[in-house]
A and B are shown apart, each in its own frame.
Chain A
């Protein structure tokens, strides 16, 4: 499998030296280097940081939960096989992993004579074009990865407010906590996410 290192062009013209650092101080790039040295513990850590992002891209491309779950396994197997080819000096880990995931899905679809959903459709439509879809896909990839950096209590208020359609008052009622606490956690989460995403030139 060839590993394409390009990322959606409009997102990052110049790869930034991303911190991609978590609370334990280990960056994704450091983990990926260790995976290349066949460090299984590093692989497990990297897996947990990215599995939701990987599942997300697989679901968007394949549009079938069963096939997406199979693809997740193949993608991480591809990461394990290919990690030794990652060079931290050439860029952060996130776009590299994104490229591995995307290529593994495309390889899988080609092997089954399927058209990748990101290919341009023959009939013009109002749907987003391939570049926009790639950009959205990459935004989701990075945002969901950044969400993994949030403490559980902050993550839940964000998920409820943004993706469960609850108002702040409803979140407070649902979690049995004061409204002020919901607002504090939400503000803290947004600030934390901004810090993570700014390190990657996305926010």
Chain B
């Protein structure tokens, strides 16, 4: 049942003020309650939102393709190689990672900077709660594409009890829309990417 204005504001009001507040009262009732947000939307925008590329009509796409070819030709003649343009990442991005069952309670933030002139993507990983691994064990950051760890981006160890670490890494790859990163646990004798211990928040 909707509240009555008289029950909400029972003090003396000037006619103008009363009308003003009563209109807000009516709007609040008309609007109804705001939608509840799931935790993943409450946290903030995802990297995927800013990686999304603009959809274009076929004709516009052809024109842009022709323009891109012309630009590339000029670049080629000039002897420059420009890497990683047009992948949709502009500016600094932060990717939040959470621990899997392998490292429940671990959290990390991966900050990805703009690619440098050579096409390398500098990244800083700050993590907490990662368990210390046995001798010769280490953690590895992998580029994650279509459900698979496809390329290593750097390794690190955790030596303190808190499991806190901050390391600078690099992704020397052409990054595509939908790409992400995970952290794996690499134990002695293990070949390829080990079990994932940190993955992007869903």
Contacts and interface: CB of A to CB of B under 8 A. Distances in A.
B34 A147 contact: yes
A190 interface: yes
B32 interface: yes
A48 interface: yes
A132 to B, nearest CB: 11
Given A40-B50, A40-B93, A51-B37, A162 B3 contact: yes
Contacts of A52: 34-35, 37
B35 A56 contact: yes
A198 B54 CA distance: 35
B34 A56 contact: yes
Interface string A41-71: 0011001100111011011000000001100
Contact of B1 (A53, A77, A165, A197): A165
User: What bracket does the count of chain A residues touching chain B fall in?
Assistant: 35 or more
A197 B29 CA distance: 15
B190 interface: no
A167 B10 CA distance: 13
A163 B32 contact: yes
Contact of B33 (A76, A163, A202): A163
Interface of B: 1-3, 7-11, 20-21, 23-25, 27-38, 40-42, 44-46, 48-50, 52-55, 90-93
Q: Which 10 A-B pairs have the closest CB atoms?
A: A77-B52, A143-B31, A163-B33, A55-B35, A38-B90, A140-B31, A81-B54, A56-B35, A77-B49, A144-B34
Interface of A: 1, 38-40, 43-44, 47-48, 51-53, 55-56, 58-59, 68-69, 72-73, 76-78, 80-82, 136, 139-140, 143-144, 147, 158-159, 161-163, 165, 167-168, 183, 186-187, 190-191, 193-194, 197-198, 202-203
